[in-house]
Structure 1
Amino acid sequence: MIRSIVITVFLLFSAHVLIQSQTKSLELNKKIFKAVEAQVQKTNELYVDLHQTPELSLMEFKTAEKMAYQLKQLGFEVTTNFGGNGVVGVFKNGDGKTIMLRTDMDALPIKENTGLPYASSIVMNNSEGIESPVMHACGHDMHMTTWLGILTTLVELKNEWKGTILAIAQPAEEISGGSIEMINAGLFKKFPKPDVALCYHVSAEIPAGEIGYFPGPIFAGVNSVNLTIFGVGGHGAMPHTTVDPIVLASRTVLALQTIVSREINPFNPAVVTIGSIHGGSKHNIIPDEVNMQLTIRFFTDEVYAEICEAINRIPKGIAISAGLPEDKWPKVEIKKEFTPPVANNPELVLSTVKSMQEILGEENVYQVNPATVGEDFGKYGRTEEKIPIALFWLGSVNRQKYDDYLNNAKVLPGLHNSAYLPDFEPTFKTGVAAMSKSVINLFNKK
């Protein structure tokens, strides 16, 4: 009898606590949505400005000034020109965790073809003095405005949380150099060390209003390889007197495909793509060399090491089989452009997803497959501080266009496409609401 009463009381108390928790969560949702709604028009104006005035990697001078100004308006302590054009903002709101929120700022050397009245008409020189048209074809203008919307919401609702926000506006993501420059400049030494780091990347495949996640490596690691195949040139009419590097290069192209298909464990995704091959100057001349350029993609350091070893071994074996002496063996140059995988922390992802689903609904936040694109956000998780990181896909496709894609197979412009255009308002509202709720819950998590 007493045991029954104790169980009943416990169940009633648990139900009461659950109801209180749900009520509090719903009230917080309302506050967040209200704060987000109040920002839409003003932030859309900023988005248009950023879209019209893109700047290339390492050249984000005016963009960085705009980000610094916005942070100062919100009450952040701001440091500029950090690790290049990087901007760091710190907002302290009592004792608690430190949460890092990152955006990138740079655009791409692409001529915009969206037909927008506010399309970019910017033409500028890159850091090497080469002139090109410029466009935010990877959505970094959307990243910046969503990031500022999140920060604005968190500042407005600062009574709902305690802790420190570390806000990062990073340059040079497109050339995979900005994050490491900020890290090497002392990002985690000179500013509060974050307990976690979060960011979005817009998706050109997910409709606006929805978010995709993966509790593990979500983006691939990337590096480039230059490969020179040597031979013995001569007259095209007398190939028997030569060792044709074009034939050797052709054999090499095919043989390199076996790295993924026959050497890497099928459960470990990887890509080896030969994107460029150049050799010869005239119809009847067998050249002395052929130059090739490769991109490689991987999700673990072990697979990366396997690929590199095979790229060194396979062309050499083909050269030896052709009877070439050692001084004619292929030259393999693995570039110093290594970008590690974006290895999401599973626990952080799932905790954040729970918060996102609380405010957006479970049907609008779902698991997606990893992608073989690269992003240098992963470098923030590979420092000695071992900071848990999480990147999420933020859907940006106009719903009508997405339905047209599903029903009529109409092609959607992808990222890095001259016609790519995020649907601003639903993308902004979704991204700000979901991340604001997640950050507040992370701050308050015991």
Structure 2
Amino acid sequence: MTRAEDLIAGLEDRLPNLEALYRDLHEHPELSFQEKRTATVMAGRLAAAGFEVTTGVGGTGVVGVLRNGQGPAVLLRADMDALPVQEIEKVPYRSRATGIDQDGLAAPVMHACGHDTHMTALVGAIEQLAARRGDWSGTVLAVLQPAEEVGGGARAMLDDGFLERFPRFDVALGQHITSAPSTHLYACPGVFMAAADSLRITVHGRGGHGSAPHTTIDPVVIAASIVMRLQTIVAREVAPNDVAVVTVAAIHAGRKENVIPAEAELKVNVRTFDPDVRSHVLAAITRIVQAEAAAAGAPRAPEIAPINGFPVLTNDVEATRKVMAAFSEAFGADHVHETTPKTGSEDFGCFAEAAGVPSVFWNFGGFDPALFPDGPQRPQVAVTAGRAPGGHSPEFVPTGLEPTLRRAVEAMLTAAAIWLGPGVPAV
């Protein structure tokens, strides 16, 4: 096993350059499967570090391979895409970027889920590994994945022959920033993140004049009834000891206040951990949507179509325990926390599942500890109370870049060191 402190040595000198990279990435975000500039920047950093670089994997994905003698192979992954969110005026390097979203509409773009920090940390880790080849042996695969936000990037890379085109790996490691104090790390052995299903529901009515609603069948009213009725699935159909989330986060209908439209569209997101609960919730959504439309006398049945989906993310228990122990030894047990499963979702686990190897995914805090008066073990309290921004918020910009990025790089190197072989002493 490699000594983590050997891989981390000299990182302090690299931090100013990494902070500049982070600001550049934050200022120039790109939406899912559109990460062309981002991929070019990442490929350039990998190549400069001495990695063999392949671009265009699964669309815009980038893979770097660094072979350093005999030994295990470790996959290190970061995601590249951003979200259609309008960033508020908070930092001088805020995003003013725009893009075309999945519906073909112009949208503001922001790294509101912190993928800019993930990429920066991965670059810091691979540059350290390249600079300190005498301290480890084996192979490192650096994976810059597109389209995590829509649940399609990992699968696209695998479908593009990832397992056949690149060296076999023995473990997959990944991390995600979270709304928690900087320098703190969070992991969960076993099931860590939920499965997700996103649906597009189109309700059909009969349009007409707003002054004569009796001549119409109003799809807005149908949509409103559906939204309220969907809330009863979790409250009245899911057992209290099971977990499910049903969110209606988008409703689109009409263009003018006195024109009743002919249709309304809803976008629904479902999170579950158990396959049986998932099946029941999805069936209940279909039942409610169809029944509300029928009750209103809709001229035709509503349409329910999938948008995207994520599998359950499951950490290998033994491997996660090893990583948490290494984190505790390196950073102190008071900075490492075992957390419970989260209803957020990730497609990172697809790589290890396809290869049949263990994977470990953890969170690193990215915000001023002063925002969390209840302590690092209860960070969600600060988010709920509005003291700290949550993911996908227009305010989700890390505070304290130096401790946040430094700890993220250190964490990735510390985890990789568990599997990489020992260095070869200079003769």
Cα shift readout 1:126-168 (whole Å, capped 9, x = no counterpart): 6876444433222122111111111222333433432211110
Cα shift readout 1:313-355 (whole Å, capped 9, x = no counterpart): 34445566x496xx95742413141122222222221121111
Instruction: Indicate conservation of the 8 Å contact 1:58/1:127, yes or no.
Output: no
Equivalent pairs counted in the alignment come to 415
**Superposition map of 1:40-439 within 5 A:** 40-125=15-100, 130-203=105-178, 205-229=179-203, 252-277=226-251, 291-317=265-291, 322=295, 330-383=301-354, 385-403=355-373, 411-422=387-398, 423-439=400-416
How far did 1:242 drift? 8.7
Q: What is the identity percentage for the equivalent residue pairs of Structure 1 and Structure 2?
A: 37
Instruction: Indicate conservation of the 8 Å contact 1:360/1:434, yes or no.
Output: no
Q: Which 5+ residue runs of structure 2 have no aligned equivalent?
A: 423-427
How far did 1:36 drift? 1.9
Structure having the higher Rg: 1
Name which of structure 1's ranges 149-158 and 240-249 shifts more when overlaid on structure 2.
240-249
What amino acid is the match of 2:404?
T
Tell me the secondary structure at the aligned position of residue 308 of structure 2: coil
How far did 1:97 drift? 2.0
Q: Structure 1 residues 228, 162: closer, same or farther in 2, change over 3 A?
A: same
How far did 1:279 drift? 6.2
Name which of structure 1's ranges 246-255 and 81-90 shifts more when overlaid on structure 2.
246-255
Instruction: Indicate conservation of the 8 Å contact 1:342/1:377, yes or no.
Output: yes
Q: Distance in 2 between matches of 1:231 and 1:263?
A: 28
How far did 1:52 drift? 2.6
What TM-score, normalized by structure 2, do the two folds share? 0.84
Q: Distance in 1 between matches of 2:357 and 2:116?
A: 26
How far did 1:38 drift? 2.4
What TM-score, normalized by structure 1, do the two folds share? 0.80
Q: Distance in 2 between matches of 1:91 and 1:363?
A: 34
Q: Distance in 2 between matches of 1:328 and 1:381?
A: 47
Q: Distance in 1 between matches of 2:349 and 2:185?
A: 19
Q: Structure 1 residues 160, 265: closer, same or farther in 2, change over 3 A?
A: farther
Cα shift readout 1:33-56 (whole Å, capped 9, x = no counterpart): 433212112222222222233233
Higher normalized contact order (CA 8 Å, seq sep 6+, divided by chain length): 2
How far did 1:80 drift? 1.1
Cα shift readout 1:395-445 (whole Å, capped 9, x = no counterpart): 100234445998996621222222222121101221122221221112359
Q: Distance in 2 between matches of 1:410 and 1:273?
A: 20
Q: Distance in 2 between matches of 1:281 and 1:66?
A: 41
Cα shift readout 1:249-287 (whole Å, capped 9, x = no counterpart): 555444433322333333331111233456689999988
Q: Distance in 1 between matches of 2:339 and 2:105?
A: 38
Q: Distance in 2 between matches of 1:146 and 1:246?
A: 46
Higher helix fraction: Structure 1 or Structure 2?
A: 1
Cα shift readout 1:49-71 (whole Å, capped 9, x = no counterpart): 22233233222222212211111
Q: Structure 1 residues 127, 315: closer, same or farther in 2, change over 3 A?
A: closer
How far did 1:115 drift? 3.3
How far did 1:123 drift? 3.9
Tell me the secondary structure at the aligned position of residue 396 of structure 1: strand
Q: Which 5+ residue runs of structure 1 have no aligned equivalent?
A: 1-23
Q: Distance in 1 between matches of 2:267 and 2:101?
A: 22
Q: Structure 1 residues 241, 365: closer, same or farther in 2, change over 3 A?
A: same
Tell me the secondary structure at the aligned position of residue 425 of structure 1: helix
Q: Structure 1 residues 400, 234: closer, same or farther in 2, change over 3 A?
A: closer
Name which of structure 1's ranges 279-288 and 99-108 shifts more when overlaid on structure 2.
279-288
Q: Structure 1 residues 286, 356: closer, same or farther in 2, change over 3 A?
A: same
Tell me the secondary structure at the aligned position of residue 100 of structure 1: strand
Q: Distance in 1 between matches of 2:209 and 2:35?
A: 51
Q: Distance in 1 between matches of 2:9 and 2:264?
A: 61
Name which of structure 1's ranges 395-404 and 35-44 shifts more when overlaid on structure 2.
395-404
| Structure 1 partner of 2:425 | none
Q: Structure 1 residues 232, 215: closer, same or farther in 2, change over 3 A?
A: same
C-alpha RMSD of matched pairs (Å): 3.5
Tell me the secondary structure at the aligned position of residue 144 of structure 2: strand
Q: Distance in 1 between matches of 2:8 and 2:317?
A: 27
How far did 1:230 drift? 5.4
How far did 1:295 drift? 1.4
| Structure 2 partner of 1:20 | none
